[in-house]
Amino acid sequence: MVPRASIRNVPHLERVILVGALRFAEEVTDLCRMADVEVAAWIEGLDRERADPTHLPPILWVDDQAAFEPDLPVLPAIGPVRRMGIMRRLVGEGRRLATLVHPSAVVSPTAVIEPGCVVCPLVVVGAHSRIGEGTILNRGSLVGHHTEVGRYSFLGPGANVAGMVTLGEQVYVGAGAIIRDHLRVGDRAVVGMGAAVVKDVPADVTVVGVPARPLERSAEAPS
Ligand SMILES: CC(C)(COP(=O)(O)OP(=O)(O)OC[C@H]1O[C@@H](n2cnc3c(N)ncnc32)[C@H](O)[C@@H]1OP(=O)(O)O)[C@@H](O)C(=O)NCCC(=O)NCCS
């Protein structure tokens, strides 16, 4: 039997709209199936050509989405942290944010998962941690205790953020990266896959390697 995921914060939810229309939307659609939640539509915000109303579920162009079942909440299904712009726009247009948590995720009862998060299989979130609005915790990522993850961030598969760490907003942590306890990572920073972060990372800086060092030029968060 397929384990059931759950939608938190919107009781008795039966249908939801995903924000995103590419491959990660397929993944979040699967998670929704596991929660017995129907995906009513996807929203595309970058390329009008991809907004295909004949696709199932229909792909809505962002400018037109407000007319489509306005009571349905949205879930992010765009990995890159630039999803914040479109998500905030939709909230400004009156959409609620749903939060999806896979049943194999272990979330401390003292942790706070803000609205609009997607918590994938095998994630662990420690005591008294806070996961900011619209953040995606990808498969098997670990968040230690008393750690703050700012809004619209992304932890890649197997990323390991230790305890008492503070990540700013729109931070991208690549697959398998490790961040040492007590550190601060600034807004929009990018941590490359496999990096071991042993010092604070300033805002807008990309770090890679073991120990992690800044790339000379900052990378845009991966798409
Ligand atoms: C850090 C990152 C964002 C940089 O991407 P980019 O801007 O396209 O950078 P490039 O691939 O051009 O690499 C630039 C340099 O950094 C090095 N580099 C890139 N990523 C690195 C990493 N994770 N660790 C060590 N070195 C890395 C490259 O070898 C290259 O070095 P060179 O200039 O000496 O040849 C990207 O490599 C990365 O780690 N992305 C995360 C991927 C991931 O976790 N995906 C999971 C999705 S679910």
**Residue 196 CB–ligand 1 contact under 6 Å:** no
Closest Cα partner for 116 from 32, 21, 7, 189?
7
102 catalytic? Reply is no
For ligand 1, atom 41, the nearest C-alpha belongs to: 174
- Other beta carbons within 10 angstroms of residue 1's beta carbon come to 3
Q: Which of 12, 145, 146, 182 is catalytic?
A: 145
**Residue 192 CB–ligand 1 contact under 6 Å:** yes
For ligand 1, atom 6, the nearest C-alpha belongs to: 219
**From the CA of 62, how far away is ligand 1's center (Å)?**
31
pLDDT for residue 2: 47
pLDDT for residue 8: 65
Can you tell me the distance from the alpha carbon of 62 to that of 78, in angstroms, rounded to the nearest whole number? 14
**Residue 222 CB–ligand 1 contact under 6 Å:** yes
Reduce the DSSP state of residue 50 to 3 states and report it.
helix
For ligand 1, atom 33, the nearest C-alpha belongs to: 215
Q: What is the torsional sign of CA 75, 77, 80, 83?
A: negative
Locate 221 and state its tokens.
């968060």
Per-residue pLDDT of the chain (223 residues; tens, 9 = 90+): 444 556 666 666 789 999 999 899 999 999 998 888 999 999 999 999 999 999 999 999 999 999 999 999 999 999 888 899 999 999 999 999 999 998 899 999 999 999 999 999 999 999 999 999 999 999 999 999 999 999 999 999 999 999 999 999 999 999 999 999 999 999 999 999 999 999 999 999 999 999 999 997 656 666 6
pTM of the model: 0.93
> Domains plus CATH for the chain?
6-99 (3.40.50.720), 104-216 (2.160.10.10)
For ligand 1, atom 5, the nearest C-alpha belongs to: 219
